[in-house]
Chains A and B, each alone.
Chain A
Amino acid sequence: MILAADAGNILVWIVWVVAAFACIGSGIAVISFSNPFYSALSLIGNLASLAALYLLLSAEFVAAAQVLVYAGAVMVMFLFVIAYLGGQADAPWAGGPSWQSIAAVCASAALLVEVIVVIGLKSGGRLSHEATVDSAFYGRPYQIGTLFLTDHLLAFEITSIVLLIAAVGGVILGAHSRETT
């Protein structure tokens, strides 16, 4: 909305409204479908509309990477597993609230409060500041790569180690189940 007001561009605003509502709608659809296959498809829609929002923020590379990695590759694995195992999942809240559902509700409530606080601060003008945007390189792979390897090197390396651990864990789990069968 802020972007649209600055640019005075009606098209940007329309795309923003459509993508934002698609994002919320598909998010609700993910948790309300009882068939996990539909939930996974909604999640793909959610990730794709999120990518559209990234595009509006001039983050083309992040948008494309989001579609390529999450909507493209990760969700294919989700669909694979769901279609293979098939079956109907239990309806949400079946058999009374479990501790997971309660924790999930608490976590989303916390996120909601955070969003409201941020919007409140933003509209009060306490968070806004002029960011320096180098228009030629802003959001481009060059700039993202530079940031990864300079300012955010530690976070980048820790993330890669977490991923490595996950990969090793996957191999161990797979090897273990092969021995027992």
Chain B
Amino acid sequence: MPALPAPGAGQVNEVWWISVIKALVIINLLMLTFAYMTWVERKVLARMQLRYGPNRAGPFGLLQPIADLVKLIRKESFFPASAVDILYIGAPVLSAFTALAVFSVIPFGPGWEVNGWTINGEVVNVPISLVLIFALSSLGIYGFIVGGWASDSKYALLGSMRTCAQMVSYEVSLTFAVLGVVIMGQSLSLVDIVHKQAETFWFFGPQFVGLLIFFIAGVAETNRPPFDLPEAETELVAGYHTEYSGMRFGLFQMGEYVNMITLSALAVTLFFGGWYGPYAPLGPLWFLLKLAVILFVFMWLRATLPRLRYDQLMRLGWKMLLPLATINAVVTAALVVAL
């Protein structure tokens, strides 16, 4: 057993206003990425289906996200008469807020020294960042559930019931899949895990099973096709956000996309060496590049796979992913102790 470094060792505290500026920059970058994700996704889907996709607003349809934003803001925010006001309005806010907050612990660079000021490579560095990510994103689920319930509509309620069942089923596998990485990195801090990968090897090799489970469970957690049962258009109109319109719907949509970006960023951090790459000075660019590749796989899946049936979803989650993730964690633990 190697000697355990003190948690947060080598961590230099930065001045508070640098953290504030960094948080502002990251949040805005995240929202910009979300806006252009919708454009990229529509383009990619269209090309895969031999269409052009959005091409009217600006060159190559590049202004489409801005047009969408203006449309959503100017649209009437419809309010069902029998909806529960506070919960109905608060639900999209909660899911968007937690989605944005989670990203604050993702490390995107090694940290820099500018004019004598220390800048860390993440907004906040907490020693238990991995647990914090899961804790916050599990709170974000309430936005979907409460929103569906408060709408007082059958479709919305059924959608939020499906969200409940799906999230609970796949959250367990997601957490267990990460356990192997935690055992190998011997830390719950994402920064430590990235450093460990730089010292040894990227964990996607030895933790390939873990990566597969993490990715499948992650697609299910973010309600992306082929696991988009909570908002299956053909069965539930639009699922839990059936009764939402205007920017309230926009917030839900933002929460979902940002969750997807965060999950991809987490996959990059845990399995693909974070900001490290063959040419070190590029730092955050490597991170962005890996992030883009994983996000593309998300879109690819959407264009390729049909939606699962409900019983298939449950069987995959409980009878395949969970036992596999458990075996993976146990085998990893045994190997780490033995070697």
Binding site for A on B (CB under 8 A): 4, 6-7, 87, 126-128, 131-132, 134-136, 138-139, 141-142, 145-146, 149, 157, 160-161, 164-165, 167-168, 171-172, 188
Binding site for B on A (CB under 8 A): 37, 41, 44, 48, 60-61, 64-65, 67-68, 71-73, 76-77, 79-80, 83-84, 136-137, 140-142
Residue contact A71 to B7, C-beta cutoff 8 Å: no
CA–CA, A65 and B136, complex, Å: 11
CA–CA, A61 and B126, complex, Å: 10
CB distance from B133 to the nearest CB of A (A): 9
Which A residue's beta carbon lies closest to that of B175?
A68
Among A61, A72, A83, max chain B CB count under 10 A is at A72
What are 25 A-B contacts defined by CB distance under 8 Å? A41-B146, A48-B139, A60-B126, A61-B131, A67-B139, A68-B131, A68-B134, A68-B138, A72-B135, A72-B139, A72-B141, A73-B171, A76-B164, A77-B164, A77-B168, A79-B149, A80-B145, A80-B164, A80-B165, A83-B145, A83-B149, A83-B157, A136-B7, A140-B128, A141-B188
Which of the residues A44, A67, A136, A142 comes within 8 Å of B135, measured between beta carbons?
A67
Which A residue's beta carbon lies closest to that of B149?
A83
Q: In the complex, which residues of chain A have a beta carbon less than 8 angstroms from the beta carbon of B157?
A: 83
Residue contact A76 to B168, C-beta cutoff 8 Å: yes
Residue contact B7 to A140, C-beta cutoff 8 Å: yes
Which B residue's beta carbon lies closest to that of A136?
B6
Residue contact B131 to A44, C-beta cutoff 8 Å: no
Residue contact B164 to A64, C-beta cutoff 8 Å: no
Q: In the complex, which residues of chain A have a beta carbon less than 8 angstroms from the beta carbon of B127?
A: 60, 140
Having A61-B188, A68-B134, A76-B142, one finds 15 other A-B pairs with CB under 8 Å, namely A41-B87, A60-B127, A61-B131, A64-B132, A68-B138, A71-B135, A73-B172, A76-B164, A76-B168, A79-B142, A80-B145, A80-B161, A80-B164, A80-B165, A142-B4
Closest 10 CB pairs of A and B: A72-B138, A67-B135, A68-B135, A80-B164, A64-B131, A136-B6, A64-B135, A68-B134, A83-B149, A64-B132
CA–CA, A77 and B167, complex, Å: 10
CB distance from B114 to the nearest CB of A (A): 28
Q: In the complex, which residues of chain B have a beta carbon less than 8 angstroms from the beta carbon of A141?
A: 128, 188
CA–CA, A141 and B128, complex, Å: 8
- Known contacts A44-B142, A64-B135, A141-B128; decide if A79 and B168 are in contact (CB<8 Å): no
Q: In the complex, which residues of chain B have a beta carbon less than 8 angstroms from the beta carbon of A60?
A: 126-128
CA–CA, A136 and B4, complex, Å: 11
CB distance from A73 to the nearest CB of B (A): 6
Main secondary structure of the interface of A (DSSP, over half): helix
CB distance from A179 to the nearest CB of B (A): 18
Q: In the complex, which residues of chain B have a beta carbon less than 8 angstroms from the beta carbon of A79?
A: 142, 145-146, 149, 164
CB distance from B141 to the nearest CB of A (A): 6
Q: In the complex, which residues of chain A have a beta carbon less than 8 angstroms from the beta carbon of B87?
A: 41
Q: In the complex, which residues of chain A have a beta carbon less than 8 angstroms from the beta carbon of B128?
A: 60-61, 64, 140-141
CB distance from A72 to the nearest CB of B (A): 3
CA–CA, A147 and B165, complex, Å: 34
Q: In the complex, which residues of chain B have a beta carbon less than 8 angstroms from the beta carbon of A65?
A: 131, 135
Which of the residues B134, B161, B188 comes within 8 Å of A83, measured between beta carbons?
B161
Q: In the complex, which residues of chain A have a beta carbon less than 8 angstroms from the beta carbon of B160?
A: 83
CA–CA, A83 and B145, complex, Å: 9
CB distance from B188 to the nearest CB of A (A): 6
CA–CA, A61 and B168, complex, Å: 21
CB distance from B70 to the nearest CB of A (A): 34
CB distance from A45 to the nearest CB of B (A): 11
Q: In the complex, which residues of chain B have a beta carbon less than 8 angstroms from the beta carbon of A137?
A: 6-7
CA–CA, A137 and B9, complex, Å: 12
Q: In the complex, which residues of chain A have a beta carbon less than 8 angstroms from the beta carbon of B188?
A: 61, 141
CB distance from B197 to the nearest CB of A (A): 19
Residue contact B131 to A84, C-beta cutoff 8 Å: no
Which B residue's beta carbon lies closest to that of A74?
B168
Which A residue's beta carbon lies closest to that of B127?
A140
Q: In the complex, which residues of chain B have a beta carbon less than 8 angstroms from the beta carbon of A77?
A: 164, 168
CB distance from A39 to the nearest CB of B (A): 14
Q: In the complex, which residues of chain B have a beta carbon less than 8 angstroms from the beta carbon of A76?
A: 138, 141-142, 145, 164, 167-168
- Known contacts A76-B168, A79-B164, A142-B4; decide if A71 and B138 are in contact (CB<8 Å): yes
CA–CA, A141 and B186, complex, Å: 11
Which B residue's beta carbon lies closest to that of A63?
B135
CA–CA, A73 and B173, complex, Å: 13
CB distance from B176 to the nearest CB of A (A): 13
Q: In the complex, which residues of chain A have a beta carbon less than 8 angstroms from the beta carbon of B164?
A: 76-77, 79-80, 83
